[in-house]
Structure 1
Amino acid sequence: MFNLLNVLFAFIVVGIFLLIARIIKHKIRLFQTLYIPESIIAGAIALLLGTGALGAIAVSLGASPDSYIAGGLFPEEMRTVWSQAPGVFINIVFAALFLGEHIPNPKEIWRKTAPQVAFGQTLAWGQYVLGILVTLLILTPVFGINPIAGALIEIGFEGGHGTAGGMANTLTDLGFAEGGDLALGLATVGIVSGIIFGTVLAHWGRQKGYIQAEPVAVEEGDAQFQETAPTESGRVLAKRSQLMQNFLIDPLSLNFGFTGLAIAIGWIILQVLTLIESATWGRGGLELIGAVPLFPMALIGGIIIQVVMKRLDLDVLIIRRLQERIAGVALDLLVVTALASINLAVLGANIGVFLTLSIVGIAWNVLAFMYLAPRILPIYWFERGVGDMGQSMGVTATGILLIRMVDPENRTGAFESFAYKQLFFEPIVGGGLFTAAAPALIVRFGSIPILFLTAGLLVFWLVFGIINCKRTSKKLQEERATAELQTTA
């Protein structure tokens, strides 16, 4: 158990580590060259000084497992706070994404994010196909592992620690008790490898010239959303000043209130869906909504608030720059605590299964990014694709971090495209409905039918993505040619 004072000191330590990380990055040129964020450095420091590294070394040298040093330098209460923090702060990050932004209509959102959706779905369904294949051909015959292991790459890599931990009881109920530990181990490998390979690929992309130093503005076709936090007009500032004349509240507090309201709306949406499920398909024992994470619903809550405030002509009260600061702080806290909470000891007796799934998952994600992203994403493929690759290797925050590495000023609009994609992505995979249902479907129908199902979905999204990319690229070329002719004339 912990109280509010424990929470306070837990985040004071995180803040201190962020300051130390800033000093380290300033002193070590390699970290600057690789564009490693301070939050990753701070999280790595906390990880090395925690249970998995320092504590494990102390125990191996003869310290009692019950001694204080066995937990590293941090008390159990602090580690408990950190372990719960990532699942909390990801909701704040997504709730703030579109507050203060212009919200396009759904048709426009789909037009602008269709390539991103296609690539993300391709990565996810490929994890199922390869996971089930390697389980059928190697893991079950050689190691005798449960066929449900075929779903573990997607649960651990695409779903992350939250999904893996949340599905542990489900896997146990289905007769695969070791599945929860394996999924958590894969999520750990996913985060670490996602950051490592993402950082290396970012360096490679700069050397190859794949990262756009000065992106060209695109108005049509696969156009990006406008840059974040545009300069506000005098009219907007005057109207906001008038509305806030009698407010005895700090603008940052007011905007955090909007963020909190977005999360509350998302929670209500989840509860309504749960009630609908309990009154319909849930009566037969098929419970799926419980596995859907809150943060995509918080994103929807933010969009609802933005649309309502716009119609009430009160949207000037939502200040985009403050929402970015709120999301930025939440993201830094999320990354540090997620890295600090990694359990390095999750291997156990299933090391062969664990290593095989890890290698297959990493290879698929990296190779798909290098060879499929340029063929599915018609513009800024590197900046947009690296976010999906990061998300497909652990947590959504990893994808956001990799986008920040290659496009820190959001000049390509990759961050917004990545975020909008979640509306068409998270409800299904990456902790969504199919992620929750996959183990039960494998048990009920067998691995081969689910292999055919996931392979069909993989082929569909891959073909759609390639055709859509060619069509959009052709349209963009025609528009640019027309613009050049008009300029020449």
Structure 2
Amino acid sequence: MEFNSVLLAFVFIAVLLAAGMLLRMTIPFFQKYFIPTSLIAGLIGMLMSKEALGKLGSIIPGADFLENGVYPEKVYDVMLSIPEVAITIIFASLFLGKKIPGIKKIWKIAGPQVAYGQTVSWGQYVVGILLAIFILNPVFGLPPMAGALIEIGFEGGPGTAAGMRGTFDALDFSEGASIALGLATVGILTGVITGIIIVNWGIRKGMTKEAKKASELSHREQKGLYPKDEEKSAGELSTRSESIESLTVNFLFIFVAVGAGMVLLKGLLFLENTTWGPAYDIEIIKHVPLFPMALLGGVATQLLYDRFIPFKLIDKKMLGRIEGFALDVLIVASITTLSISAISEHILPFLILAGAGIALNLAAFFFLAKRVMPEYWLERGILQYGQSMGMTTTGLLLLQIVDPEKETPALEGFGYKQILFEPIVGGGLFTAASMPLIAQFGPIPVLIGTGTLFVVWLSIGLFYFGKKNKEGAQS
């Protein structure tokens, strides 16, 4: 009897998550540095794959049965396809369930964080493309598209890196997907460890007002559990179950947003194929994945919902649980299928990119955050730092320590900032189109464009928001 490959893949993912949760709850190191369970589970899964256990089986006499790891080939193929589905669901739901404010309000509340986030993102492109031009391409033979890997892996994170696997394959740069995912993994691990060090340093120096030391967390909180007397709701029921389940309704809007993204992507592809594509031999849209379009589909869906539906049908808390599930599954599946051989074959370029990305993010935090976001700079900066190191979740974990009751404007500003940030970089339209643009036009024009935007946003941050908010800055 042969089991359904999709169901079997999710059984393997469940077992990996259970193992990761057990390790997370029993090993103090994971608790101290807030290592996500999904990351632990993904690393376990990678060690059991054909890329690790399989290699070991091929060199040990009599262990030929381990050559493919513990996963059947069909299950492995399913795991390869899961990230694309999961990242699309996550991006489709990002702006659902909350009223989209006007640009003026976003700019007033979140302007400094927008300027800082945009500066770091475009800076990652500038540094990456310069490395590609002067080192990665001439010395190691990597294509100029490698210049986009820092932003895809660090600012985009594991979801974006895994979700763009099809783009990497279409551009004949399949090893780039594993390098980007490896960068995201290194970024998350480095982000939580260095982030905790930075947070503790900031607390000792008295730079935070609402700080919560890791040592002040209860035993249950360190294990990743809520206190016994603190119940958390997964979401509110907006419809009666005899009509339709509330969870079903929230999924309904997610997939409406995905469908809108599909229509938008098809429309842009048709436009490209009938205009600039054949006229100038330029193909960009055909390499753009679905998830950034699903994000725009979510924005359009929410705007129509606000305009025409007078009932509360979408619940943001429930959407948050859906997003969290999709992200956990995405991380486990993507790291499990990570190509270790692709990274090992390009280990020096990988280390160069990783070192450059980490150094850039640290430099931005220590030398730029206080100048661009003088008010509550550490709380705002550590949240942005966590995101720029691979995961928004990392930033939220670090913010939970320095601002546990969310009494500073950091989280509110971050939420508004995402509206002007996510559609463009950090997994947005430009992130998705960056490699096709480099492949089509070459690295120099893209370097000029990203460098210009870097300078513009840096200037706005330093000379507009920095001076404007300096009087209210905390010492």
Instruction: Give TM-score, length-normalised by structure 2.
Output: 0.79
Q: Identity over the aligned pairs, expressed in percent?
A: 34
Classify 1:100/1:458 alpha carbon distance in 2 versus 1 (closer, same or farther; 3 Å).
closer
- C-alpha distance in 1 between matches for 2:330 and 2:112: 28
**Preserved contact between residue 133 and residue 144 of structure 2 (Cα < 8 Å):** yes
Q: Which sits farther off after the overlay, 398-407 or 147-156?
A: 147-156
Structure 2 SS opposite 1:345? helix
Partner residue, 2:277? 282
Aligned-residue offset at 1:104:
0.9
- Structure 2 match to 1:209: 202
Structure 1 residues 405, 280: CA separation in 2 closer, same or farther (over 3 Å shift)?
Answer: same
Please give the per-residue CA displacement for 1:421-451, whole angstroms capped at 9, x wherever unaligned: 212435553223x442112212xxxx55554
Distance 1:303 1:256 in 2: 15
1:173-188 equivalent positions in 2, closer than 5 A: 179-181=173-175, 183-188=176-181
In the alignment, is residue 337 of structure 1 matched against residue 333 of structure 2?
Answer: yes
> What is aligned with 1:406?
398
1:273 equivalent to 2:268? Answer yes
Which of these residues, 95, 99, 102, is aligned with residue 98 of structure 1? 95
Between 148-157 and 280-289, the greater mean CA deviation after superposition: 148-157
Change (3 A) 1:102 1:410: farther
Evaluate the alpha carbon distance shift between residue 55 and residue 257 of structure 1 in structure 2; reply closer, same or farther with a 3 A threshold: same
Structure-2 separation of matches of 1:70 and 1:18: 23
CA separation of 1:385 and 1:337: change in aligned 2, threshold 3 A: farther
Aligned partners of 2:259 and 2:294 also within 8 Å:
yes
Residues 281 and 405 of structure 1, relative CA distance in 2, 3 Å threshold: same
- 8 Å Cα contact 1:53-1:344 kept in structure 2: yes
For these two proteins, the number of residue pairs brought into alignment is 434
Matched, 1:197 2:190: yes
* Aligned match for 1:86, one of 63, 83, 93: 83
Aligned match of 2:115:
118
Deviates more, 1:378-387 or 1:71-80: 378-387
1:212-246 residue CA offsets vs partner (Å, 9 max, x unmatched) = 6748xxxxxxxxxxxxxxx99xxxx9xx87xx468
Which one of 288, 308, 318 corresponds to residue 322 of structure 1? Answer: 318
| Larger displacement relative to structure 2 (38-47 or 104-113) | 104-113
**Secondary structure of residue in 2 paired with 1:248:** coil
Match status 1:55 vs 2:67: no
For the structure 1 residues 8 and 91, does the alpha-carbon distance in structure 2 shift closer, same or farther, using more than 3 Å as the test?
same
* Local SS of the residue matching 1:72: coil
2:131 corresponds, among 131, 134, 141, to: 134
Q: Which residue of 2 aligns with 1:109?
A: 106
Q: Does the Cα contact within 8 Å between 1:92 and 1:263 map onto a contact in 2?
A: yes
Change in CA separation of 1:331 and 1:452 when aligned onto 2, cut-off 3 Å: closer
Contact 1:387/1:418, CA 8 A, preserved across alignment: no
Aligned partner of residue 356 in structure 1, secondary structure: helix
More displaced stretch, 285-294 vs 375-384: 375-384
For 1:300-449, list aligned pairs within 5 A: 300-347=296-343, 350-378=346-374, 381=377, 385=381, 398-407=390-399, 411=406, 412-413=411-412, 416-417=415-416, 419-420=418-419, 421-425=421-425, 426-432=427-433, 434-442=434-442, 448=444
Q: Which runs of 4+ in 1 moved over 6 A?
A: none
Partner of 1:228: none
**TM-superposition CA deviations, 1:298-330 (whole Å, max 9, x none):** 223223333322333434121222212211211
Deviation at 1:103, TM superposition (A): 2.0
Letter aligned with residue 164 of structure 2: T
1:99 is paired with a residue whose SS is coil
Bigger mean CA deviation after superposition, 33-42 or 307-316: 307-316
Cα deviation 1:5-57 (Å, max 9, x = unaligned): 21112112222322222222221122111111211121121112112222222
Q: Quote the residue 2:219 is aligned against.
A: none
Q: Measure the CA separation in 1 of the matches of 2:62 and 2:453.
A: 52
Q: Distance in 2 between matches of 1:95 and 1:268?
A: 13
Corresponding residue SS for 2:312? helix
Q: 1:206 Cα deviation (Å)?
A: 2.4
Q: CA deviation at 1:146?
A: 5.2
**1:93 Cα shift?**
1.6
Query: How far off is 1:203 after superposition?
Result: 1.0
Q: State the distance in 2 between where 1:313 and 1:136 align.
A: 52
* Inter-CA distance 143–399: structure 2 relative to 1 (3 Å threshold): closer
SS at match of 1:71: coil
AA in 1 matched with 2:457: W
Q: Identify the residue that residue 164 of structure 2 maps to in structure 1.
A: 163
Identify if the C-alpha distance between structure 1 residues 15 and 350 changes in structure 2 by more than 3 Å, giving closer, same or farther.
closer
Query: Partner letter of residue 160 of structure 1?
Result: A
Distance 1:416 1:376 in 2: 18
Q: What is the 5 A alignment of 1:70-85?
A: 70-85=67-82
Using structure 1 for the length normalisation, give the TM-score.
Answer: 0.77
- Aligned counterpart, 2:40: 41
Tell me the SS of whatever aligns to 2:262. Answer: helix
- Rounded Cα–Cα distance in structure 2 between residues aligned with 1:368 and 1:145: 27
Amino acid at match of 2:329: L
Per the TM alignment, residue 345 of structure 1 is displaced from its structure 2 partner at its CA by 0.9
Give the RMSD, CA atoms, in angstroms.
3.4
Contact 1:126 1:455 (8 Å CA) reproduced: yes
Deviations 1:93-143 (Å, cap 9, x if unpaired)? 222223222321233334444434433333333333333433444445545
Q: Which residue of 2 aligns with 1:22?
A: 21
Q: Is the 8 A contact 2:168 2:177 kept in 1?
A: no
The aligned residue for residue 460 of structure 1 is 456
Q: Note closer, same or farther for the CA distance 1:274–1:418 as it changes in structure 2 (3 Å cut).
A: same
Distance 1:384 1:275 in 2: 42
C-alpha change, 1:204 and 1:269, in structure 2 (3 Å) is same
What letter corresponds to residue 194 of structure 1 in structure 2? G
| Worse-superposed segment, 28-37 or 415-424 | 415-424
Counterpart of 2:250 in structure 1 is 255
